[in-house]
Amino acid sequence: MQQIKKPWYDAATGEEVDNWILAAAQPEFSGSKLKTIIGSITDITLQKRSAKDAEARAKLSEQLEQIQTRRLQEAEETRRAQNSFIDITSHEMRNPLSIFSVAILYSELANAL
């Protein structure tokens, strides 16, 4: 398969576009003389563009998946940090005087000795 090197322009937009054809030829001989050549030309531009578009969509999908994975990891890290903060804060709110009660206990033990 070979791409034609001559630029083609879209009649509607004037943009340069790629056009693809599939050509096949078969000579027909009569003895050792060439009688005719039978051939066909098929425009496969739409199939080529579809394949190119599919590749672009696959690449974009992969990039989006990477972004989603990264954002999910960031959200999990944020959730862990929030939970840790809440755990520490709630512990301190439940036991605000724990350090003082330990100090008083040691003081009473020291006085008893």
Give pLDDT tens digits for 43-93.
888 888 888 889 999 999 999 999 999 999 999 999 998 998 888 777 767
| Strand 33-43 relative to strand 8-9, pairing | unpaired
CA-angle at 109, arms to 108 and 111, nearest 5°: 65
Torsions phi, psi for 89 (to 5 deg):
-65, -45
CA-angle at 57, arms to 51 and 62, nearest 5°: 130
Residue 5 has pLDDT above 80, yes or no: no
Residue 2 has pLDDT above 70, yes or no: no
Q: Which two tokens stand for residue 16?
A: 């340069």
Secondary structure class of 11 (helix, strand, coil): coil
